[in-house]
Amino acid sequence: MVITFNELRRIKDKLPSGSSQRIADELNIDVNVVRNYFGGTHFKEGGPVGIHLEKGPDGGVVTLDDASILECAMRIIAEQKDQQ
């Protein structure tokens, strides 16, 4: 999957507080992997996250090896909208 870096950050910014930990728990991964996926730099703690950045317009292009974290984030955002 390919997405712009800025769009990935916009999705992250829509997530309610505590979502990184929730995603980590649901996918049985370290919370720093989730943080790194959305642009964090906790590589020592979280390890590689399967994203590849290429500089360009709108923050550049991000190629995601696995969209599981993104799909989980989108589901959380949809749940939040349903509750409003």
Task: Give per-residue pLDDT as tens, 24-38.
Answer: 999 999 998 998 888
Quote the pLDDT of residue 53. 81
Burial category of 56 from C-beta neighbours within 10 Å (exposed 0-12, middle 13-18, buried 19 and up): exposed
Please write the tens of the pLDDT for every residue from 38-79.
887 766 655 556 777 889 988 899 999 999 999 999 999 999
Spatial separation of the C-alpha atoms in residues 45 and 54, rounded to whole Å: 23
Residue pair 73/10 in contact by the 8 Å Cβ criterion: no
Kindly give the residue spans of alpha helices, DSSP state H, lying in the chain: 5-14, 19-27, 31-37, 43-46, 68-83
